[in-house]
Amino acid sequence: MPLLKKAIVPLARPLFIPKEGGLTKEDLIIESSGNYRLFEKPDYFVIKNDECCRSIQVTVKVKE
């Protein structure tokens, strides 16, 4: 599983993942240390920290 992005997402902040090479929502594997919401936009995905009072660590991988 290729690593796409690894980041700390502060409280109520988004993490943007560009859609490249026909990437779909089903292709993403998201590991997180807390709650998050995933949104799909025409050119990118948005992972938003949904925790009430702390930052989360997010690792995004792609299915092979």
For residue 12, the model assigns a pLDDT of 79
Contacts of 52 (CB under 8 A, 6+ apart): none
pLDDT at 52: 87
Mean pLDDT for 27-38 is 95
Confidence of residue 36 (pLDDT cuts 50, 70, 90): very high
> pLDDT at residue 50 above 80?
yes
Judge whether 30 and 59 are in contact, CB under 8 Å.
Answer: yes
User: Contact at 8 Å (CB) between 9 and 47?
Assistant: yes
Q: Roughly how many angstroms between the first and final C-alpha of the chain, as a whole number?
A: 6
Mean pLDDT, residues 4-18: 93
Whole-prediction pTM value? 0.87
51-54 CB contacts, 8 Å cutoff, 24+ apart = 51/11, 53/11, 54/11
